[in-house]
Structure formats: structure tokens, C-alpha cells
Structure 1
């Protein structure tokens, strides 16, 4: 059985992030919904994603904080064991070099 790919969309509890999460869900991706403060909206997005026949995982975290980013990646690894796509709606927070560093650091924990 082939596992569905997994996408993390930062800031996906509303707006462009929510629309991006739904886009990936429509294309068969399991979706990690990241939110900073709006749990209610994140849960609504998760329900919409699940109605499209894929899994949704809601994860709180402030992506401007290193500890939260590490926890985010570790949570995804624990639940899905993989991350195929990183959707950065708030583009300023993480460049590729930082992402590789975070992933490497999370792997060591």
C-alpha cells in the first residue's frame, strides 16, 4: 500500500494558508495544519480536509520560535513518519538552509 504524501502548511488556519491546505488535500495529500493562536479555525480547516478523504493533523506553533519549529517537525515525524512538502505561507520565517538545519537537529533528538 502506498502512503499518501504529507504537506505542512504554515499559517493554515485561515486565508491563503487554509486555501492552500485544501488544495493539497484535494490532490491526495495528508495535511499538517499549523496555527499560532486560532485553534477554532484550524479545527474547521481540518474537518474540511478530512471530508476530502485524507488525514489532517492540527499543530500549534509559532514558527518564529526555534523551539516551536523543532516541536512541529518532531510532531509530524511521530504522526506521519515523513514530510514531503513544506508550504510556507508566511515566507519570511524560514529559508531552505534553516529548514535543513531544523530537520537535522530534530533528527538528533
Structure 2
């Protein structure tokens, strides 16, 4: 699992309004928010960085539910326009 987290972190794109708009134009509707520590462990209390994982649909399985935010939300737009030094926010580059 650690290797998967490290690979996920290394394959990211910059988080900004332009990239959020591109996600929406490609049909993505949500981002799953993953908080990770410096040593690549999941942590939502004191994360070192946030990885936003683009998703076209939310999972229906209640065991796969997590923290999601719709693209175009006020929160994501605010984050995209602010200068974020901590925690660092990036977008997972799992786009096809």
C-alpha cells in the first residue's frame, strides 16, 4: 500500500482553477480528498498535503465512501484561488 500511495503522490498535476475547469470539461463531477502525511500515510487531522482524486461518479458501496467535494463548489474554487503553502494541494493525474 505504501508504494501505491507514493506513486499516487508522484503522479500529480498542479491544483489551480484552470485544471479544475479542465476536469469538468472532461466529464469529472467530484474529487475525492485524500490527506497524506510527509511519510505518505493517510491522515485527515494533520495532513502534510491533500491529493484530490477526480471521479466521474460517487461509489454506491457504503464501505467505499470517503470525503468528496463536487467540482465547481465554492470551497474548491476558494482553495484554487488562494495561495496554499500548507497543506499543499495537488490533483491526482489519473486522467485518461
Fold shared per TM-score above 0.5: no
Q: TM-score, normalised by structure 2?
A: 0.29
Q: TM-score, normalised by structure 1?
A: 0.27
The structure with the greater share of residues assigned to strand is 2
